[in-house]
Amino acid sequence: MLTIAQKTAETRYDRLDALRGFAMVWMTAFHFCFDLSHFGYWPQDFLVDPLWTVQRTLIVSLFLGCAGLGQAVAWQRQVGWARFARRWSQITACALLVTVGSFLMFPRSFIYFGVLHGMAVMLVITRLTVGWGRWLWLAGLLALVSPWVAGWALQGPLSEWAPLFNGRGLNWLGWISRKPFTEDYVPLFPWLGVMWWGMAAGQWLVVRSDGWLSSPLPRVVAPLAGLGRYSLSYYMLHQPVLIGGLLLAGWLAGRA
């Protein structure tokens, strides 16, 4: 029999889950277009065209902002390190699977520090800094601008350090003067700033406007909440399904 406190701790915020679910749907549409381009059905420039680069930035920002909001909820509910470690281990394991899978498909540009890798590192940092309160806003701002400052320095007064920071050993920090050649790159900076801002906004909401998070969802968007509850599993499965579907479609078209 669960106590009232335990039931409260297990209660999910449907609006947060729905926001995460919306990010999943948007990401799926984005990746479907990417896959169409990769297989030559609809060639697009995902590296330069603002239509795609801006969308990617917004999608990643939404994911990491939701992760920050989730950490604020965990802080409010006093979720312990053991439960955090279980979820963190799942994310880390999935990040390693992404590296292996992307190496098999893109050996020259495999993912070694993508969104899950970055999230694994950022979650530990946000967990350790959850008590910063309002200072999270300033920390987030500094994190967001630091890559531009570092890029200027590495192209100017600190140019002799550029090879070190641009190399794979340190470019996961995001303080670079040249972007690495990889299929997904979500470095610590500036993206930690997005997660810090998400956590700061979440702390404000759970203290001053908890009703916004806990109020019922409109029925039309309720399915998004269900999707958001299984975001990690969905993230790991959606691309194999999309790629498999396109390969099957191409095979069937070739036999027709």
Each residue's pLDDT, cut to its tens digit, for the chain (256 residues) gives 334 344 444 577 899 999 999 999 999 999 999 999 999 999 999 999 999 999 999 999 999 999 999 999 999 889 999 999 999 999 999 999 999 999 998 999 999 999 999 999 999 999 999 999 999 999 999 999 999 999 999 999 999 999 999 999 999 999 999 999 999 999 999 999 999 999 999 999 887 766 677 788 888 899 999 999 999 999 999 999 999 999 999 988 887 6
Count the alpha carbons within 13 Å of 49 in the hemisphere toward its beta carbon. Answer: 9
Residue among 94, 114, 111, 96 at smallest CA distance from 233: 94
What pLDDT score was predicted for residue 2? 38
Confirm if 97 and 112 have CB atoms less than 8 A apart. Answer: no
Domain ranges of the chain: 58-235
pTM: 0.92
Distance of CA 157 to the CA centre of its chain: 33
Tokens of 83: 């439960």
Whole-angstrom Cα distance, residue 38 to residue 33? Answer: 9
231-255 and 81-105 helices, crossing angle to 10°: 20
Question: Which sign, positive or negative, has the C-alpha torsion 222, 224, 227, 229?
Answer: negative
Predicted pLDDT at 9: 47
| pLDDT value of position 212 | 73
